[in-house]
Chains A and B, each alone.
Chain A
């Protein structure tokens, strides 16, 4: 099965919206890696996380209580996470076949300024 990036990211968004960890984990590769750029705001989360469960947890933590929209990020389908009207996170993906292999999460407010203008 090859979902293609767009429908895969759409499914990730749906799973985030429903806070459905199981559905989300099924879309994430076992060896997936997530990198989070917080600009040093969240000292705890400075290392890459790996594994479907941990990557899923990061995505759910970001999406909790927020609205997730599928949108073009750097030329390819990604996610924009908003609390109210404010963009609080941008997620870019690398995909392989029918799952997500790498996730880049930007929550650094300085890097989100252009998304909040």
Chain B
């Protein structure tokens, strides 16, 4: 009987990769590997058909347990808890098939998933394990595992979308301004959510609709109708108003309107035209 060292060393990098992604801690990952090694030493290795699968299973299960207690510790941590950074210049994928689930943004999002969800996601996305294998490792039926992974993916894409919202808003605003100037009805419609609302604040002085315009095609029509006269000789510069993407429009060197918009994943859901001269002084100041 061999001492099992070779088999262990052969998969060590990927075991570390699993534990690190599960725990966001290289130190804890090393502890897990230590424990796996001891179990492997004590085990009847002759009876193990696939050492790699055995070791990955042990690592994942121990990591799930450790992740459960780590979660409680992170909650009482002083200040923000961040993953322990790892130097990936030697092994960019950190023992995985792909370098997935290593970036800080993703590791922090994984923290929000349950440990089992996290394990299923990591084994699938980074290590490309078949669902049937993951199902054996986490002891859930295959359809349930598929569901866990797809839910985890969804969580991660949704959560990743949120912080880029302001960049996306900026992009939408630019596309909106182009379409509005061109009076491009269809182009406007494509940018809008079904229930988009356009509000104008004219302060009773400047020319503005008093009632909000609601609905995709009505708002598109309303704005496209402006195109012929409203935009002539108008230049604009980008701004951010209360965290919303905005553009300040000026004509003959004077600012006369601020248009801002907000958007959801459905598209632009609110457009505000601020044409009230009193409120504009505060902005251009």
- Contacts from A to B (Cβ < 8 Å): 29-31, 33, 35-40, 42-43, 45-48, 71-76, 78, 90, 92, 94, 96-97, 101-102, 104-106, 108, 110-115
Contacts and interface: CB of A to CB of B under 8 A. Distances in A.
14 contacts: A30-B166, A73-B86, A73-B87, A73-B88, A74-B83, A74-B86, A75-B88, A96-B164, A97-B167, A101-B163, A101-B167, A104-B104, A111-B84, A113-B27
Nearest to B168: A96
B78 A73 contact: no
A94 B79 contact: no
Contacts of B87: 71-73, 114-115
Q: Give the interface size class of chain B.
A: 20 to 34
A114 B243 contact: no
Interface of B: 25-27, 77-89, 92-94, 99, 102-105, 107-108, 163-164, 166-167, 240, 243
Chain B contact surface mostly? loop
B103 A75 contact: yes
A74 B88 contact: yes
Given A29-B167, A31-B166, A92-B104, A37 B93 contact: no
Contacts of B80: 35-37, 46-48
B164 A101 contact: yes
A92 B103 contact: yes
Contacts of B166: 29-31
B79 A36 contact: yes
A106 B107 CA distance: 14
B86 A114 contact: yes
B242 to A, nearest CB: 11
A82 B163 CA distance: 30
B78 A72 contact: no
B78 A40 contact: yes
Contact of A94 (B88, B89, B163, B240): B163
Contacts of B88: 72-75
